[in-house]
Amino acid sequence: MSTARDQILDTMCELLELQGYHATGLNQIIKESGSPKGSLYYYFPGGKEELSAEALSRVGLVVLNRIRQHLNTIDSPAQAVRDFIVNIAHNVEASGYRAGGPITTVAMETASSSDRLRLECQGIYTRWQDAFAAKLSSPDAPDEVAHALAGVILAAIEGGIILCRTSRSQKPLLNVADAMAILIDQRR
Amino acid sequence: MSTARDQILDTMCELLELQGYHATGLNQIIKESGSPKGSLYYYFPGGKEELSAEALSRVGLVVLNRIRQHLNTIDSPAQAVRDFIVNIAHNVEASGYRAGGPITTVAMETASSSDRLRLECQGIYTRWQDAFAAKLSSPDAPDEVAHALAGVILAAIEGGIILCRTSRSQKPLLNVADAMAILIDQRR
DNA sequence: GTCTATACACTGATAGAC
DNA sequence: GTCTATCAGTGTATAGAC
């Protein structure tokens, strides 16, 4: 199994989260991954765009599993979501406010310049939203309400990450965590 | 007064919103603004970073005034915020989902690479948040609660813009609008 | 103040030896 | 499959004529 390919992908995932799409050069990728440029184009003939799409897909799945796993550890939907967001806040802080929101930057950068990457991000966001929605449906809250609420939670998290990284503080996400818990308990 | 300087700034504001920081080249700026490169470095000796900082500052003030103005036209805080967010959704749609969130992309791109631009974005976000908070304080809601809630609203808007542009739909922001109205009415 | 020409590093991408 | 050398183009920034 090609570990070279995996290393390139892992490096790309990291750099996209840290710097975004346009700030990440292929030379940096091959340097940090230790793989030569020849291998990069051997494994990803589509170049930077194809490599980015696969990297996004990979990190999207990792996060999806993290969401599902975390939400399953706590029974109460409100407390589960709250705890999950608090956890993100801690991770963002732990990275020195350099990481967090692995697809956020790329989503904005490519929303109107690359349909391939935009659709990749859209698919990931949809799956994340569905994962939240699954935790929020109940006899009192029909699927449509749960899905809409899940979208609001996702938006607040993404925006909260932006504010945390910009202000170098956990507060925005912590406030989001509390607010979302309130919102979940009010749903019907 | 120098309209050349203004044209460069206006063009930069637009391009930063559409494409972000790293995707916007100085050559494109001078081409679209009609000003030569000599003028650019005459007015902005600090180069791209200084030009971007001033552009962000300008667009930040424009939006700040828009927030204040809009919130003043409706008495009920919940309805005012709701209406404001619905308005953003319409504007994002009207741009073909190419614009919206004039500092969002740059904030993420430069959060860990340029302290100058990061601090510029931080200041803008703080002022926007304060503007929302001013509308939300009341005898029942102390300033601290209002300020925290304003931060959540700001985060949900920023994230909602990302989801709208990525999915090419107004729905995420419309759901955010409804949710924020509920949240405001529940505050204490 | 305005503009052109250009310096020099770096970009994504390719060719071809091994 | 792996690697190097290199392409053509673009990036930011500067020098200097006018």
Residues B132 and B46: their CA atoms lie apart, in Å, by 33
pLDDT value of residue B188: 73
Averaged pLDDT for residues B98-111: 98
Q: How far apart are CA B71 and CA B83, in angstroms?
A: 9
**Domain membership flag for residue B122:** yes
Checking if the pLDDT of B1 tops 90, the result is no
> Considering the domain boundaries, does residue A119 fall inside one?
yes
In Å, what is the separation between the CA of A39 and the C1' of C15? Answer: 14
Question: How does DSSP classify residue A188?
Answer: -
Taking only the tens place, the pLDDT of each residue in B56-86 is 999 999 999 999 999 999 999 999 999 999 9
Asked if the structure places residue A9 within a domain, the reply is no
Mean pLDDT of A69-91: 98
Q: Which two tokens stand for residue A161?
A: 């990450």
Residue type, B150: A
Reply yes or no on whether the pLDDT at A54 is more than 90.
yes
pLDDT of residue A1: 52
Q: How far is B139 from chain A (nearest CA, A)?
A: 20
Q: What CATH number is attached to the domain comprising B131?
A: 1.10.357.10
Q: What is the mean pLDDT of residues A61-83?
A: 98
Between CA A26 and CA B49 the distance in angstroms is 23
User: Looking at beta carbons, which residues of chain B come within 8 Å of A126?
Assistant: 167
By Cβ distance, the residue of A18, A22, A152 closest to B175 is A152
Residue A174 domain-assigned? yes
The pLDDT of residue B105 is above 60: yes
Q: Which residue has the tokens 């700026």?
A: B29
* A120 contacts chain B (CB < 8 A): no
Q: Is residue B35 part of a domain?
A: no
> For position B4, what pLDDT does the model report?
86
CA nearest neighbour of B8 among B38, A140, A88? B38
B73 neighbors A73 (Cβ within 8 angstroms):
no
| Beta carbons of A159 and B163 less than 8 Å apart | no
B86 vs B92: CA distance, rounded Å: 10
Best residue in A93, A147, A163 for a mutation probing chain B (most B CBs within 10 Å): A163
Write the residue in A97, A154, A178 that is nearest to B111 by C-beta.
A97
Do the Cβ atoms of A155 and B159 come closer than 8 Å?
yes
CA of A21 to C1' of C9 (A): 20
Q: Are B137 and B143 in contact (CB under 8 A)?
A: yes
Give the residue numbers spanning the domain of B168. 52-186
**Model confidence over A114-128: pLDDT tens digits?**
999 999 999 999 999
For residue B171, the distance in angstroms to the closest alpha carbon of chain A comes to 9
What number of C-beta contacts closer than 8 Å exist between A and B? 167
| pLDDT value for A36 | 79
**Can you give the pTM of this predicted structure?**
0.97
Tell me if B159 sits within 8 A of A154, measured CB to CB: yes
Cβ-defined contacts of B57-62 (< 8 Å, 24+): B57/B120, B57/B124, B58/B9, B58/B13, B59/B13, B59/B16, B59/B17, B59/B102, B59/B103, B60/B102, B60/B103, B60/B120, B60/B123, B60/B124, B60/B127, B60/B128
Q: How many domains does chain B have?
A: 1
Is B82's Cβ below 8 Å from some Cβ in A?
no
Instruction: Tell me whether residue B106 is in a domain.
Output: yes
In a domain, B34, yes or no: no
Q: Is residue B62 part of a domain?
A: yes
Among A166, A169, A171, A185, the residue to mutate for chain B (most B Cβ within 10 A): A166
Contact check, Cβ <8 Å, B159/A154: yes
The answer, yes or no, to whether residue B161 has pLDDT greater than 90, is yes
pLDDT at B170 over 70: yes
